[in-house]
Amino acid sequence: MTTVYTVQAGDTLFKIAESFYGDGNLWGKSSAANGNIAPETLQVGQVLQIP
């Protein structure tokens, strides 16, 4: 099941992974699910698929 998440101010892939998976070190799962986005390219309002 995939969840949709809209990036908020102050978010990082690490923080998002912590929230969804309980482990920030799994941020690569979200990166891969979104075309291997680089952490520094996150933008407020960007919609991510969270596997």
Digit-coded pLDDT (tens) for 16-40: 999 999 999 999 999 999 999 999 9
Q: Confidence class of residue 2 from pLDDT cuts 50, 70 and 90?
A: confident
The partner residues of 50 in beta bridges, in order of sequence, read: 3
Q: Is the pLDDT at 1 greater than 90, yes or no?
A: no
* For the chain, domain boundaries: 10-42
Q: Is the pLDDT at 48 greater than 90, yes or no?
A: yes
The whole-number pLDDT of residue 40 equals 92
Cα–Cα distance, 46 to 25 (Å, whole number):
21
Helices (DSSP H) in the chain: which residue ranges? 13-21, 27-33
